Structure 1
């Protein structure tokens, strides 16, 4: 009887240990999703210029991750900020913080100003991951710059492009765009799209930014300048009233203050004019992108219609 009781207690003990161990593993592997993380966020800011390259300014627009297929997608806007006549090309790879393992990163779409890079096989346990972007300038441009540098240094020997070794040219420049799991959007439906799919996404994102820019100017920036003018006008009127009871010396000082107020009012009026001009430009950009989106959608509908007609014709032929 005692042996049965002991075995029963041992079984309960083993079961308890297994349950606790299972819970511990569950906490360990899912704690990222529910436990508070007080470490510093390492995310590269969105919608801000990223320096470090000689010919290109990058802007991080979006960063998504699908844990199901372990796929990341990073959208970068690129602005040519250098003087090279030939735009540079780019290569990519990714690496998680504090590890040596590299992840394959592939450029899946690019337009005149956008690049979409996918990072493959990223485990859900990632914390901070860096996308390394390397800028490759045209070799002929680099050789010409090198020759000019030699000439400026007083080298009178005639040098041809063939004489210049690649080792003498500067190394490609590199920047790291950092993603923190707390700032990366989880997207369970993230997959590789067609070029038209990415183009449509970029157009919609541009339209959203233009609309937000218009809203900010109209609802915040212009009212701020208008309130500033109202405040300055009141202060100017108060100063004029005070002049009746001031000495000539005090009046001269007040006149200077009034002129300063008037200048600030004029600056605010000029700023409002600039902001209104900016609204016009953003509206024009929004309309252009909207037309581009409509044309893209129309082409898609026409292609689908042609496909349907072709299928119907083939079906009719088969029925005969």
Structure 2
């Protein structure tokens, strides 16, 4: 019984110690230095025919004091037509890397871009300088790279006016996971905010319309107008008017019917304070007998919906 208890205590101590290290140990950093001139070029770029002579771009290893291994990869190119020099890039460990490049400048160097797997990294770099030398390293940004083979490409897109040619040069590419920004820890919570919209159909008519005085024995079409204000929370809406019929003065009726126009009179979505123009027309013929007094008609306007 004592032996069993002792083994159990040792096991518990090991588990506790192991779990503590799993939490406290920082993630392993990955650093990889890529001597580009030591990579076998995948692709040589061929420029077009210039002045009747075909010129071929060449990728070569060129010795240069001050570079990381006393040499750099030179793209001996002679056109700013997007010519490319490509190299294999074998990433040892998948990680999020901060990338840095050491480029080479000179009096006959062009303007270049760097790409990994066809995606541009960093900016566009003018490699012109009065003397040939390795330039200060430039940060290209942070990129997630999977383990395995990728393609590093240098693309020539132009040149400085002071430069005499379109060469490109790169010495070293540095992949450093410790240089990649660490995401800021965040805590996320959600809260639902809202408000209820009551079902609303509201109709307000403007100033009552008036045709003015009718002139007996004179043929004329009289007009009048008013407005309506519509508020609707429905999915659709329609404004209609009851049968206008005929204007009446007591028992006397105008022979010609009253006409009403509503613009607009339908909606396919909710509206708030939509203005509607309502027009009225009344034709009086020269032969129509008119009775002294007021001709009028009460009309009912209805705002309705089929999709509340």
Name the TM-score class by shorter chain: under 0.3
Whichever of the two has the greater Rg, that structure is: 2
TM-score (normalizing by structure 2)? 0.25
TM-score (normalizing by structure 1)? 0.24
